[in-house]
Amino acid sequence: MFQYSSKSLFSEVKEQYKLGFLFLAFAAAFLLQDIFLLLCLFAVLLTLLAVAGYRGFFGLFIGLLPFLALADIGFVIFLSNSGLDLLHLTISSNLRILCLFTATAFFTFSTDVFALHKLFSKMHFPEEICLPVYVLFRFLPEIEHDLVEIAGIQKIRGITKRNPVLYIKSVMIPLLFTVLQKSDDLAIAYYLRKKRETS
């Protein structure tokens, strides 16, 4: 879903331009108040993602729906007596999240993480910023791959989405252990690298 594609139409564009575009898209998503303008921004970002060559739109947004539904329910429960226009707040918040998600998907789909790391090094960004970005872009596709594998294994065992509680438990617990193991391996590798650099 989030994996870089060298076949993307925008893969040859310089990383600094794509990074600047990402910041502009984020700023526009936060600054725009009008629902129509937010909808236009979302349409533009979605079109860019399609032009870039991305085709997995269903998988991209299906994971967001439960999160958006929970956020909307939270707005209704906690802000119903606040006097705010809940309909406008809910729609604009959902559109903002969709814009941020689509801009990030466009950026990750068309940007090589190694080229991005080189750009950060050239710009003398501190390692505290570079390392999390590198790890996120490098290992998010692996985590997604693990999720698909675990879901496939659970399907073979007869655990499907018809029983959502059992399905989520059977998929998320193994995924959590896999992610913890990978993060542990990363931490050890980073520690050993730093130790070698200082000695």
Of 111, 142, 172, the domain-final residue: 111
Residue reference for tokens 């960004």: 125
The number of angstroms, rounded, from the C-alpha of 139 to the middle of its chain's C-alpha atoms is 12
Domain count, the chain: 2
Contact 95, 32 (CB under 8 A): no
The answer to whether residue 39 scores a pLDDT higher than 80 is yes
pLDDT at position 163, please? 82
The answer to whether residue 199 scores a pLDDT higher than 90 is no
9 and 105 together in one domain? yes
What's the rounded mean pLDDT across residues 44-69?
A: 80
121 and 107 together in one domain? no
**Cβ-based burial of 11 (10 A; exposed 0-12, middle 13-18, buried ≥19):** middle
What's the rounded mean pLDDT across residues 116-143?
A: 75
What CA–CA distance (Å, rounded) separates 23 from 5? Answer: 21
107 and 123 together in one domain? no
pLDDT digits (tens, 9 = 90+) for 59-98: 667 767 777 888 888 888 887 787 777 788 888 988 999 9
Say what percent of the chain tops pLDDT 70.
Answer: 92
The answer to whether residue 40 scores a pLDDT higher than 80 is yes
47 and 131 together in one domain? no
Torsion sign across C-alpha atoms 30, 32, 38, 43: negative
The answer to whether residue 46 scores a pLDDT higher than 70 is yes
| Cα diameter, the chain | 62
Contact 15, 115 (CB under 8 A): yes
Confidence of residue 28 (pLDDT cuts 50, 70, 90): very high
The answer to whether residue 41 scores a pLDDT higher than 90 is yes
The answer to whether residue 102 scores a pLDDT higher than 70 is yes
123 and 40 together in one domain? no
pLDDT at position 38, please? 94
The answer to whether the predicted template modeling score (pTM) of the entire model surpasses 0.75 is: no
21 and 103 together in one domain? yes
Amino acid, single-letter form, for residue 151:
A
| Main-chain phi, psi angles of 159, to 5 degrees | -95, 110
pLDDT at position 60, please? 67
Contact 41, 99 (CB under 8 A): yes
The answer to whether residue 1 scores a pLDDT higher than 70 is no
Give the domain range for residue 105: 1-111
